[in-house]
Amino acid sequence: MVRSACDGRCRVNGQRLEEGVTDKGYHSGAVLLKIAEWKVRTYISAPRQKARNWDGKQREKKVVLGN
Protein backbone atom coordinates (compact mmCIF):
# COMPACT_ATOMS: atom_id res chain seq x y z
CA MET A 1 0.00 0.00 0.00
CA VAL A 2 1.27 3.49 -0.85
CA ARG A 3 0.54 6.26 1.61
CA SER A 4 0.76 9.96 0.88
CA ALA A 5 1.56 12.68 3.37
CA CYS A 6 0.95 15.54 0.97
CA ASP A 7 -2.73 16.23 1.85
CA GLY A 8 -3.61 17.37 -1.66
CA ARG A 9 -0.58 19.65 -2.01
CA CYS A 10 1.40 17.25 -4.22
CA ARG A 11 1.54 17.32 -7.98
CA VAL A 12 1.10 13.96 -9.65
CA ASN A 13 2.49 12.95 -13.02
CA GLY A 14 -0.06 10.69 -14.69
CA GLN A 15 2.68 8.89 -16.64
CA ARG A 16 5.03 7.51 -13.98
CA LEU A 17 6.51 7.88 -10.53
CA GLU A 18 9.20 10.59 -10.54
CA GLU A 19 10.30 10.85 -6.90
CA GLY A 20 10.22 8.62 -3.85
CA VAL A 21 10.88 9.01 -0.12
CA THR A 22 11.52 6.03 2.16
CA ASP A 23 13.19 5.25 5.45
CA LYS A 24 16.78 4.04 5.77
CA GLY A 25 15.80 0.38 5.42
CA TYR A 26 15.81 0.84 1.62
CA HIS A 27 19.27 2.39 1.33
CA SER A 28 21.10 -0.57 -0.19
CA GLY A 29 23.12 -0.35 -3.37
CA ALA A 30 21.01 -3.03 -5.05
CA VAL A 31 17.74 -1.22 -4.29
CA LEU A 32 19.09 2.14 -5.42
CA LEU A 33 20.42 0.63 -8.67
CA LYS A 34 16.98 -0.79 -9.47
CA ILE A 35 15.26 2.50 -8.67
CA ALA A 36 17.81 4.34 -10.84
CA GLU A 37 16.84 2.08 -13.77
CA TRP A 38 13.28 3.40 -13.36
CA LYS A 39 14.64 6.99 -13.46
CA VAL A 40 13.07 7.81 -10.09
CA ARG A 41 14.69 10.49 -7.90
CA THR A 42 15.13 9.18 -4.35
CA TYR A 43 15.20 10.83 -0.95
CA ILE A 44 16.21 8.00 1.37
CA SER A 45 17.83 8.60 4.73
CA ALA A 46 21.22 6.94 4.94
CA PRO A 47 22.25 5.05 8.05
CA ARG A 48 25.55 5.92 9.68
CA GLN A 49 28.10 3.45 8.47
CA LYS A 50 31.81 2.93 8.02
CA ALA A 51 33.53 3.89 4.78
CA ARG A 52 32.50 1.54 1.98
CA ASN A 53 34.74 -0.27 -0.47
CA TRP A 54 33.60 0.89 -3.93
CA ASP A 55 36.10 -1.20 -5.95
CA GLY A 56 34.29 -2.36 -9.08
CA LYS A 57 31.05 -0.68 -8.01
CA GLN A 58 31.26 2.74 -9.65
CA ARG A 59 27.65 2.74 -10.87
CA GLU A 60 26.41 1.70 -7.42
CA LYS A 61 28.56 4.40 -5.82
CA LYS A 62 27.06 7.02 -8.13
CA VAL A 63 23.45 6.16 -7.25
CA VAL A 64 24.11 5.74 -3.52
CA LEU A 65 25.91 9.07 -3.24
CA GLY A 66 23.43 10.72 -5.61
CA ASN A 67 20.54 9.77 -3.38
In tens, the pLDDT along 8-60 reads 666 666 777 888 888 777 678 888 888 888 888 888 887 777 888 889 999 98
Judge contact between 47 and 22, C-beta under 8 A. no
Positions of E strands within the chain: 19-22, 41-44
What are the boundaries of each domain within the chain? Answer: 16-47
* pLDDT the model gives residue 56: 93
Fill in the DSSP letter of residue 25: G
